[in-house]
Amino acid sequence: MAEHVALPQPRTLYTQLRECASSQARAAAVLGFLRDCTGSEAGFLFLARPDGLSLAASTGGSQPATDLVAEVRRSWDRELDRQPDETKTLELSSIEALRNTGQQSPFWSGASTELFERRLLSMYRSGSWIPVGLVMLRAREGTLVPIRQVHIEALCSALLDSGDVSESTLPPQPRRA
């Protein structure tokens, strides 16, 4: 398993991302942060757009395989169908989520046999769940290091507040009673 790295304070991370010169630079910085703190050496960041998910950043500018894109879309649709329980405090560790909720494995391996771990980027804002995107991180040896939810919220807030993802273009989510 990868070592834990020193992470910036969530507010510092948010500020650094907001100061990026463009949405492409911000997406690359988000993917870089996720890769660095999880111990992944490669990955793909997909962000929510009005017509579905769109590739926003990739390691080395590489293009994802067709089967990976299809899996991202399937995973995204599954995530939109289920809204997480807002009463729980969650770490963005797909393994922990798997253990706690009995969901499908967070790992996926396509025709290339590379192992990827899916991680949803989402947060609650003003009482509504906002799915922002999905990242596929290459997992070499076992699981990747979990990321604290406060850091995910900083990433999501920076993407939303910068207009890279718009709350108004996301699929409507049912409010919980």
User: By mean pLDDT, which of 36-45, 65-74, 105-114 is the weakest?
Assistant: 105-114
- For the chain, domains (ranges, CATH) are 10-165 (3.30.450)
In terms of average pLDDT, the best of 92-106, 144-158, 162-176 is 144-158
What share of the chain in percent tops pLDDT 90?
A: 53
Q: Map residue 111 onto helix, strand or coil.
A: coil
C-alpha 131/C-alpha 76 separation (Å) is 9
Closest by CA position to 138, among listed 161, 124, 155, 118? 118
**What would the pLDDT profile of 43-95 be if each residue is shown by its tens digit?**
999 999 888 899 999 998 899 999 999 999 999 998 888 765 543 444 444 44
In SS3 terms, 18-58 reads as HCCCCHHHHHHHHHHHHHHHHCCCCEEEEEEECCEEEEEEE
Tell me what the pLDDT averaged over the chain comes to.
82
pLDDT digit string (tens) for 143-156?
Answer: 788 889 999 999 99
